[in-house]
Amino acid sequence: MAQSEVAKQTKAAPTASVASSTEAPPKGNLYTIVQGQLDKAAKAVNLSREVYTILSQPKNELIVHFPVRLDDGNYRLFKGYRVQHNNILGPYKGGIRYHEDVTLDELKGLGASMTWKSALHDIPFGGAKGGIKFNPRLHSKGELERITRRYTHALGGNIGPESDIPAPDVGTNGQTMVWIMDTFMNMRESSDKNAMRRVVTGKTINSGGSYGRESATGQGIVHCITEWAKHRRFNLNGSSFMVQGFGNVGSHTAKILAKLGSTLVAVGDYKGYIANPEGLNAHKLAEHVAQTGSVESYKHARVIGREEFFATEADLFIPAALELEIGETEAKNLRCKVVAEGANGPTYPEAEAILAERGIDLLPDILVNSGGVMVSYFEWLQNKRAERWPLEEVEQRLEEWMKRTFGQVQDFAEELKVDMRTAAYAIGLDRIEKAYSERGIFP
């Protein structure tokens, strides 16, 4: 589609009749939604019944309860999870989430998405996701450390450098990974300790992390947006964008897009939304969030409601918060040209259909937000080989790989006449099916 057509469609978007929704849509079941996406892609590529059956449930679902002593001397029992979805293509791989709304079905959906993500990009990993159901913002650093170490201890040998490799996700970071690594190392013979370093990725640089890992997801999203822009003959320089969520993914995406000449006009997080049509400085905003915990009280902007946020005129929209934030109302209100899913599973299927009808492109999560797991793979390789790759090398490999997969998904979508998400799933499923058909089912 030529740029002028894109512009026409955006102009045609309703401005006067903004559908009303001050709250996020009531949360649906992410696992059911991800299954629906699998069904659609399975039909498109005629996936065998056997492989479909295997993939329709995770291999293992682990739930642990563990007590932790809080700073006031009281004990609290925490509930932790690790869902190991599939490992036919390599060790289980995926983040650990700390959030009060964590549920088993959410992690099943997110774990399955990791399987498709690794398979799509041909990263030799499977899919997993874990988490602890609690609000990390309400705990001191000492409590977070004890919670993380007890969780790691409770998981025991269910994770490992060649079997299941956690990484950061919502509510966790490099420090969390270092605590997991250190606890895991201390549960082993001292002669084995250093071989255990790669039990987690997304570590800090000092403790064996990779250069470029922290910004990798944002960087990968921007590579995909750049490819989209080339395809649509759209000039990013002088464009505008908005971001939902200003944690690791949202803030890095914003900083990198700003370098390409795009202006951040609206942003929101768990506390509220702000806008400034003249532009928000992503670097200063990130500093503000580091100090205060939220974008809401940032001075150089106007506080707006959720409804107004979704109706803001901006060329690009990057949801980078939690899943299932874009419902039918949001899809009707959005006035962007493209939605690049920084978060995992941010869009309801009904909303996706509305976006497609309105001519708004959608770049699916497993394609665009995979920079994180890709550089996780680089980190794992560096640890395994006792190497340290310079930032330039990491960035170059990331760029080539993201762009290559983007092209494959685009070609496949055109060939199969399906949407980008279905094409992305289909490429991953094809790789998984081939592995199953060669190996067969034990015994």
Q: Is the peptide bond before 443 cis (omega within 30 degrees of 0)?
A: yes
- Contacts of 294-299 with CB under 8 Å at 24 or more apart are 294/269, 294/270, 295/246, 295/267, 295/268, 295/269, 295/271, 296/269, 296/271, 296/272, 298/274
Closest residue to ligand GLU, based on beta-carbon distance: 95
Residue with tokens 């590579």: 223
Q: Which of 129, 203, 255, 337 is catalytic?
A: 129
Nearer to ligand GLU, 58 or 95 (CB): 95
Q: Quick one: how far is CA 365 from the chain centroid? A: 7
> Over the range 20-50, which residues count as b (16 or more CB within 10 Å of their CB) and which as e?
ebeebbeeeebbebbbebbebbbebbebeee
Least spacing, CB of residue 202 vs ligand GLU, in Å: 6
Which token pair is 355? 């976006």
**DSSP conformational letter for 271:** S
Distances 174 to 111, 180, 346 between C-alpha atoms, Å: 20, 10, 24
Least spacing, CB of residue 231 vs ligand GLU, in Å: 24
Closest CA to 286 of 256, 248, 315, 324: 248
Strands 75-86 and 127-133: antiparallel
Least spacing, CB of residue 320 vs ligand GLU, in Å: 11
Least spacing, CB of residue 397 vs ligand GLU, in Å: 15
Nearer to ligand GLU, 109 or 327 (CB): 109
Which token pair is 97? 């989430």
Nearer to ligand GLU, 94 or 268 (CB): 94
Least spacing, CB of residue 22 vs ligand GLU, in Å: 28
Nearer to ligand GLU, 216 or 236 (CB): 216
Nearer to ligand GLU, 169 or 341 (CB): 169
Separation of alpha carbons 234 and 1, rounded Å: 10
Residues making contact with ligand GLU (CB under 6 A): 93-95, 167, 169, 201-202, 344, 369, 372-373, 376
Nearer to ligand GLU, 249 or 362 (CB): 249
**Close Cβ partners of 89 (under 8 Å, ≥ 6 residues apart):** 118, 119, 124, 125, 126, 431, 432, 435
Residue 93 annotated in active site: no
Least spacing, CB of residue 373 vs ligand GLU, in Å: 4
Active site residues: 129
